[in-house]
Chain A
Amino acid sequence: MRYVGQPIDRLDGVAKTTGAARFSAEYPYPNLAYAALVHATIARGRITRIDTGTARKTPGVLAVITHGNAPEMKPAPKPNQFDMSTLAAATSVNYLNTDEVYWNGQPVAVVVAETLDVAREAAYLIEVEYAEYPAAVDFAAEEGNARPQKSTMLSEADGRKGDAEAALADAPFALDLRYTTAQVNHNAIEPHSTTAYWDGDHLILHEGSQNVAWVRDHLAIRFDLPKQNVRVISPFVGGAFGGKSFVWPGTVLTALAAKVTGRPVRMMLTREGVFRTVGGRTPSIQRVAIGAQLDGSMTALIHTSVCQVGRTGGWSEQVTSVSRHLYDAANIQVQQNLVGMDLLANTIMRAPGESIGSFALEATVDELAYELGLDPIELRARNEPARNPLDGKAFSHRLLMECFEEGAKEFGWAGRPQEPGSMRDGRWLIGMGVAAAYHPAWRFPANLTVRLSDDGTVLIRCGLHEMGMGSATAVSQIAADALCVPMAAVTVAYGDTALPDTTTAGASSQTASVTASLLAACAKLDRAVFTLARKTPGSPLRGLRRADVTARDGGLYNGSRGESYHDILRRAGRASVEARVGADTRLGEIADQVRSMSKFLLDRRRWVKAACGAQFCEVLVDSDTGETRISRWLGVFDVGRVVNAKTAASQLRGGIVMGIGLALTEETLVDPRNGRIVNASLSEYHVPVHADIPVIDVRYLDDPDPTMPLGVVGIGEVGVTGVAGAVANAVFHATGKRIRDLPITLDKLL
């Protein structure tokens, strides 16, 4: 392979760095109007009065839309596992079609005006009064109301092998610990933005999205349109991390505002608006208990969790999923629980579940190692399973211990004194920590077409999403190799529902999903072109069998006999040849979905597939003030085949940065009195800044997974897993203090 694996620059890099790339709030329409939201200031209740008089009279205001005058929209559909598009709604609220308030921050009015400033000023002038209902908004206080989470086709909420509680009681060594993690928010650099306009009964939307098909399907339902009347365009997305997977109120309301005013309308949420209308990662309360023999072999592993969901919706996190896979305990029990809250629906955020679940599990394993006087890596080696611990399924591929070995060597792990508080540099206490990273590998159906034109160029049309990770670049590399053409000959059209529906950019699945279809389409195309060549009179390939021919240098050849794609198509009088994966009729689509779903389930019954890795970190803790700084980081990963060495490293590194935020600085403060987010700004919500991040050394083993297309397992999320565990373990090594509550702010270390 000429391109796959190479550190190739992102194809859209120049467009982004020069400002040529257009994001969804940057489309200049003549006649463009601007929208702003008014947010509810109570957690639960009913609007009793809404005074829009002054706002409406403000010069430049085009419309003030409230539940009093909003056109009727269809409600969000009931979620149904068999029709994925019904899962697109972020919440079940029919915005502005109800006087009820379900969370503090819910949009209660939209102002549309000639300029952004007028829209925001008029929004300020609207007065709302409420009748308040009692509301459950204090997560810590609601713990007792948690109920067992339901399992779904894609995610089991519980699991059991043997009797873990009994084994724990009998174990010579036992730990039973409680962990808590704070709510955090994605904070992508591009706030959620929509530009919408109506062309008759057609709705066109520019929207930064991780799933354009979902946005289309959902809006078609809400505005009662045939699907094909809605087009969603999303070539550039300024970061998403899960926050742009579902359809949040701003999107629906921009389309509504455009309908009411008959104008193209742009709404870019303020940072506060993102906090108030787009959910974050749930807080969690977790229990991890491990029982072990003197030699460290685990006899019991219990991992339970309590997370929240909004009463109008919210993602159920797979917090305990890591405990199904990581350690070969004789008895295992995992159980996830949920408590319903009168808060904005929480949502998926980079490695939902595994990010926070791995914190609790990996911190406990470290603690156990210290109890037993074992090196934490040695303890892991003694409990490394040959088959999936919970159910005995086979691993498709797993080089976790190899990651630890390579990492330990590179990081100088063996040289550290194990005693906590024993390394120091002036006022800084030094600590080293390690943890496992783990994220399941997914693959979903993806439709696309590949077209070869008579000028030798290749066009791939697929509705994939580019949120900055380099997806289109990776797809070009794979296609160029599959068809043996130069990468410069390949163009990828993406981020548009006018293209075949591809798949969500979520669950680290996009590259694997697209690769499978792309390879199939390229193989089809190759056959079609060859058939064409051997049938065309005068072709040098006439009469040859495919096996006699190799594709190289943009053509098909048998030794020196053969010709370029350009010549093959010209000779045959064809402008282009196209191959397609995925049906283009509704019926075919359903059949495809059923077929791929059953294949998927079959596959899942057989294999456990995942990306994994070892996170090593060194921290400095100020012995006076408890300030914690990361001084070194190394992540060694088993992520199957790496398609692009440069963008892959960036993905893993970005995940680690996000994990450092989760570990040390990030916390969304929800006022327990009224459910209002108190730090809805980037000055008070602390993402890590440059000075918080050391050089991050990222390595990978580059060993393809034999059961995945091209051996790819997905790298978008595994980087964030294990990070908080490694940090907490390093903080312990530095200070002798176990902090079981994220984020690890300095007050917890005083």
Chain B
Amino acid sequence: MKDFAYVSAPDVATAVRAITEPGAKFLGGGTNLVDLMRQNVERPDTVVDITRLPLDRVEELPDGRIRIGAMMRNSALAAHRLIRTRYPMLAQALLAGASGQLRNMATVGGNVLQRTRCPYFVDLAARCNKREPGSGCDAIGGFNRNAAIFGASESCVATHPSDMCVALAALDATIELESVRGVRRLPLVGFHALPGDAPQHETAIAADELITAIELPDLPVAARSRYRKVRDRASYAFALVSVAAALEVRDGVVTEARLALGGVASRPWRAHAAERALMGAPATEESFRRAADAELAGAVAQSQNAFKIELARRAVTATLRQLHLPGGAA
């Protein structure tokens, strides 16, 4: 890989100053960035190591919200009592990701910003609009079995691979960003972009911004939630389709529903249409399927991934069913 300068930032002020150097990149756990550097997809001049930043705690705020430091390791977050009890879908999503070793390294901030696993994206011999704008897209008409079914464009059909973000989308999390220019907060839903004709623009973060925290609202419905990941092997594989769901049922009627899908778009896909269909509906298999259908009406397949539409339909229905069954939240 290319030679680079290495800066280890002791505090946020140093970090956000260091990142203003041209060609600088933050280094979290490095599980994505270092791989991409080895593959020459990323070639930073300076690497700003942020793992020493004191942002590795989960705090409960006075108003009941939860604030997660961006340096928190994925495994530590999954094991945290508040997360396991109040937001089980998030703990499950984290544990469904990668492998134990990777989760011990991966940070929350890095997880949000991890790049797509589209195989052509990491092969410099392939055409890829995301890596090299205007070069074309080898996934279209090539291997696209795990490509997007929502929001893809003619220039890119890649998905965002994170499991954690799917739960965060369902939970209406907020991302806190800091730079030398100040602090701002953005909702996670909408933070990741659809490709349009500029798939190289992946998120709303600016080049000089640091993710400092993720905040979760106080959300009682989330205590009864579940993350279901469907993949090609039992562990250590990215989602073909995943579902984060929370469901509140009173007297057999759905009174609150949260639903997001993973592995289906360039962003964690908040399933608003399905949520609307569920609200006020009887909590039956029929309603669950109808909700899935409402969401998937807008799905579009590539040459190899039509099965993902049917798979998503079944995964949504099954997850809601399992949530609704007595003891099904486990």
Task: Mark A residues whose CB is within 8 Å of B.
Answer: 41, 117, 120-121, 124, 427, 624-627, 629, 664-665, 669, 671, 673, 676, 678-681, 683-684, 686, 688-692, 745-747, 750
Contacts and interface: CB of A to CB of B under 8 A. Distances in A.
Interface stretch (B14-22, B248-256, B314-322): B314-322
A686 B123 contact: no
B145 to A, nearest CB: 8
B1 A120 contact: yes
Nearest to A624: B318
Interface in B236-285: 236-237, 240
Contact of A691 (B120, B125, B233, B311): B233
A607 to B, nearest CB: 41
A60 B117 CA distance: 33
B207 to A, nearest CB: 24
Interface string B34-74: 00001010000000000000000000000000000000000
Contacts of B233: 664-665, 686, 688-689, 691-692
A117 B230 CA distance: 38
B234 A692 contact: yes
A113 B198 CA distance: 39
A398 B234 CA distance: 37
Q: How large is the interface on B (under 10, 10 to 19, 20 to 34, 35 or more residues)?
A: 35 or more
Contact of A684 (B117, B234, B315): B117
Contacts, number: 78
Contacts of B240: 746
Interface of B: 1-3, 38, 40, 99, 117, 119-120, 122-123, 125-126, 138, 141-143, 145, 230-237, 240, 307, 310-311, 314-315, 317-318, 322
Contacts of A679: 119, 143
Contacts of A664: 233
Nearest to B43: A124
A627 B231 CA distance: 8
A750 B237 CA distance: 19
Contacts of A626: 311
B117 A683 contact: yes
B41 to A, nearest CB: 11
A730 B108 CA distance: 41
A747 B230 CA distance: 11
Question: A-side binding surface: helix, strand, loop or mixed?
Answer: loop
A747 B307 CA distance: 6
Contacts of A120: 1, 38
A124 B138 CA distance: 21
Among B2, B3, B234, max chain A CB count under 10 A is at B234
Contacts of A671: 138, 142-143
B235 A691 contact: yes
B232 A745 contact: yes
B235 A676 contact: no
A678 B120 contact: yes
B119 A624 contact: no
Contact of A625 (B38, B120, B237, B315): B315
Q: Which 4 A-B pairs have the closest CB atoms?
A: A691-B234, A41-B125, A747-B307, A624-B318
Nearest to B237: A686
Contacts of B231: 627
Contacts of A627: 230-231
Given A692-B233, A747-B145, A750-B311, 18 more contacts: A41-B125, A121-B1, A121-B3, A427-B322, A625-B318, A627-B231, A664-B233, A669-B119, A671-B138, A671-B143, A676-B126, A678-B142, A683-B117, A691-B235, A745-B232, A746-B232, A747-B311, A750-B307
Contacts of A121: 1-3
Contacts of B307: 747, 750
Given A679-B119, A689-B236, A691-B233, A750 B142 contact: no
Nearest to B228: A625
Contact of A624 (B2, B234, B314): B314
A689 B311 contact: no
A39 B99 CA distance: 30
A427 B318 contact: yes
A366 B230 CA distance: 29
Contacts of A750: 307, 310-311, 314
A618 to B, nearest CB: 15
27 contacts: A117-B1, A121-B2, A121-B3, A427-B322, A624-B314, A624-B317, A626-B311, A627-B230, A665-B232, A665-B233, A673-B138, A676-B125, A676-B126, A678-B123, A683-B117, A686-B233, A686-B237, A689-B99, A689-B233, A691-B233, A691-B236, A692-B233, A745-B232, A746-B232, A747-B145, A747-B311, A750-B307
Contacts of B141: 673
A688 B237 CA distance: 10
A746 B230 contact: yes
Contacts of B314: 624-625, 750
Contacts of B310: 750
A679 B143 CA distance: 10
A315 B234 CA distance: 33
A273 to B, nearest CB: 12
A689 B1 contact: no
A629 to B, nearest CB: 6
A342 B38 CA distance: 29
Given A624-B315, A669-B119, A686 B125 contact: no
